[in-house]
C-alpha cells in the first residue's frame, strides 16, 4: 500500500529528525537510561511523496523511508520503539514491517494520538527517556496533549505544527471567522482566548482616505504569519523548558508547518546539549 503525502518538505523534515535521533541515541547510549522512540502519527514506514512534475527532475518519484523506518535504521538503536496510528491499513503495514526487525522491541498501537501520548507519558519510569515525534497531517493534535509531554520532564519532542491550518481557519478579516471552526482552533491552540491574541483592530486608513469611506477599516485583522509564528513559539516556551527557533517547512514558497524541537527536561545541561545539536542540524537546512 502506498502512503501518499507531502513533497520535498517531507524529505527535509525526515532528514532533520534522522540527524537528531542519531545525536540523541549516541549521546545517551552510555547513560543508565532505557531509551524509547515514539511515533504517535506513525504512518506506514514508507511513503510515496507527491512531487510536482517540475520537481520530478530533482527527486525521482519513488518510495521513501518514512519516520518509522528512519528511526529503526538508526544505530546505536533505541531500547523500545512505539508506533501508533489511527488508520487500520497503516497498522497492518506497520505489523508487516515489524517482521523485518526481529531484534528490535517494537510496540504497535491503534489509538487516537491524543489518548496514546498521555498514556505513554503516564507509564514512563524514573530511568526512561524518550524522543517523540508528532507528525499530524493537519489539525489532529490537541494542545492539551503537549502538556502531558512537558510534565514528564523526560521527553525530547519534535513537533510539526500546522501553521497553514491556522491561517486557513483564521481569515485576515476577523468578521469572517467561521463559527464551525472555533472549536477546532481552541483545541489546536489550547486556549479560547486566541481571538484576542491573533486579531487586532484594523490599521488606520492612509490620510487621503480619512475623509472618504471608512467602513473597510472597522473591525479586526489577523496578525501576519511571522507574528503568528512568534505567538505560537511563545506559547510553546510557556509550556516547555526549551524550544528551538522553528524550522519553516514550505511548499512553493507557502509556509505549511513549523518544525519545533521542544525539551521537557528542566536541567539546563540537558537542554543546552539539545540546543547545540538542534542549531547545528537546522543550520545545514
- Closest residue to ligand SAM: CB criterion: 66
Q: Distance between alpha carbon 144 and the CA centroid of its chain, in Å?
A: 14
- Helix, strand or coil, per DSSP, at residue 176: helix
Q: Which residues pair with 65 in a beta bridge?
A: 46
CA–CA dist 156, 159 (Å, integer): 10
Angle at the Cα of 254 from the Cα atoms of 4 and 48, rounded to 5 degrees: 15
Piece in contact with ligand SAM (CB under 6 A), picked from 38-46, 53-61, 124-132, 276-284: 38-46
Q: DSSP character for 18?
A: H
Residue 25 or 198 with smaller CB distance to ligand SAM: 25
Piece in contact with ligand SAM (CB under 6 A), picked from 40-48, 96-104, 148-156, 218-226: 40-48
Cis-peptide, bond into residue 166, ω within 30° of zero: no
Q: Helix H segments across the chain?
A: 8-27, 53-56, 67-72, 88-98, 113-123, 143-152, 163-169, 182-189, 194-198, 225-239, 268-283
Cβ within 8 Å of residue 172, ≥6 positions away: 221, 222
Residue 136 or 174 with smaller CB distance to ligand SAM: 136
Piece in contact with ligand SAM (CB under 6 A), picked from 30-38, 42-50, 226-234, 273-281: 42-50
Dihedral sign for Cα atoms in the order 101, 105, 111, 114: negative
Angle at the Cα of 174 from the Cα atoms of 169 and 179, rounded to 5 degrees: 55
The CA-atom distances, in angstroms, between 112 and each of 41, 119, 141, 145, 189 are 9, 11, 9, 11, 18
x-or-dash string of contact with ligand SAM, 105-124, rule CB under 6 A: -------xx-----------
Contact positions with ligand SAM (CB under 6 A) in 200-229 = none
Contact positions with ligand SAM (CB under 6 A) in 60-99 = 66-67, 84-87, 90
Residue 227 Cβ vs ligand SAM, minimum distance, rounded to whole Å? 27
Residue 48 or 221 with smaller CB distance to ligand SAM: 48
Residue 86 or 151 with smaller CB distance to ligand SAM: 86
Piece in contact with ligand SAM (CB under 6 A), picked from 55-63, 130-138, 143-151, 180-188: 130-138
Residue 222 or 246 with smaller CB distance to ligand SAM: 246
Q: Does 43 bind ligand SAM (CB under 6 A)?
A: yes
The CA-atom distances, in angstroms, between 239 and each of 76, 150, 235 are 30, 7, 7
Residue 22 Cβ vs ligand SAM, minimum distance, rounded to whole Å? 16
x-or-dash string of contact with ligand SAM, 17-36, rule CB under 6 A: --------------------
Residue 212 Cβ vs ligand SAM, minimum distance, rounded to whole Å? 48
Site residues for ligand SAM per CB under 6 A: 5, 14, 39, 41-43, 47, 66-67, 84-87, 90, 112-113, 135-137, 140
Amino acid at each position: 500500500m502506498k502512503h501518499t503525502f507531502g513533497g520535498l518538505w517531507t524529505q527535509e523534515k525526515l532528514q532533520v529528525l534522522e540527524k537528531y535521533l542519531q545525536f540523541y541515541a549516541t549521546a545517551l547510549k552510555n547513560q543508565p537510561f532505557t531509551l524509547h522512540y515514539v511515533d504517535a502519527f506513525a504512518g506506514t514506514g514508507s511513503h510515496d511523496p507527491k512531487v510536482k512534475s517540475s520537481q520530478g527532475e530533482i527527486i525521482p518519484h519513488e518510495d521513501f523511508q518514512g519516520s518509522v523506518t528512519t528511526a529503526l535504521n538508526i544505530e546505536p538503536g533505541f531500547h523500545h520503539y512505539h508506533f501508533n496510528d489511527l488508520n487500520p491499513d497503516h497498522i497492518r503495514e506497520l505489523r508487516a514491517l515489524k517482521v523485518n526487525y526481529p531484534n528490535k522491541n517494537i510496540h504497535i498501537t491503534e489509538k487516537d494520538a491524543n489518548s496514546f501520548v498521555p498514556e505513554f507519558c503516564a507509564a514512563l519510569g524514573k530511568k526512561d527517556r524518550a524522543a517523540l515525534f508528532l507528525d499530524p497531517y493537519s489539525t489532529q493534535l490537541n494542545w492539551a496533549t503537549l502538556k502531558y509531554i512537558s510534565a514528564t520532564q523526560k521527553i525530547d519532542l519534535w513537533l510539526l505544527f500546522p501553521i497553514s491550518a491556522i491561517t486557513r481557519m483564521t481569515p485576515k478579516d476577523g468578521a469572517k471567522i467561521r463559527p464551525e471552526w472555533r472549536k477546532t482552533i481552541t483545541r489546536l491552540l489550547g486556549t479560547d482566548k486566541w481571538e484576542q491574541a491573533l486579531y487586532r483592530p484594523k490599521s488606520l486608513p492612509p490620510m487621503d482616505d480619512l475623509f472618504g469611506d471608512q467602513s473597510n477599516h472597522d473591525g479586526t485583522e489577523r496578525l501576519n504569519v511571522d507574528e503568528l509564528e512568534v505567538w505560537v513559539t511563545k506559547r510553546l516556551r510557556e509550556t516547555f523548558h526549551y524550544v528551538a527557533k522553528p524550522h519553516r517547512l514550505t511548499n512553493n514558497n507557502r509556509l505549511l508547518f513549523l518544525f519545533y524541537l521542544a525539551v521537557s527536561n528542566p536541567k539546563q545541561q540537558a537542554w543546552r546539549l539539545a540546543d547545540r545539536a538542534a542549531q547545528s542540524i537546522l543550520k545545514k537546512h
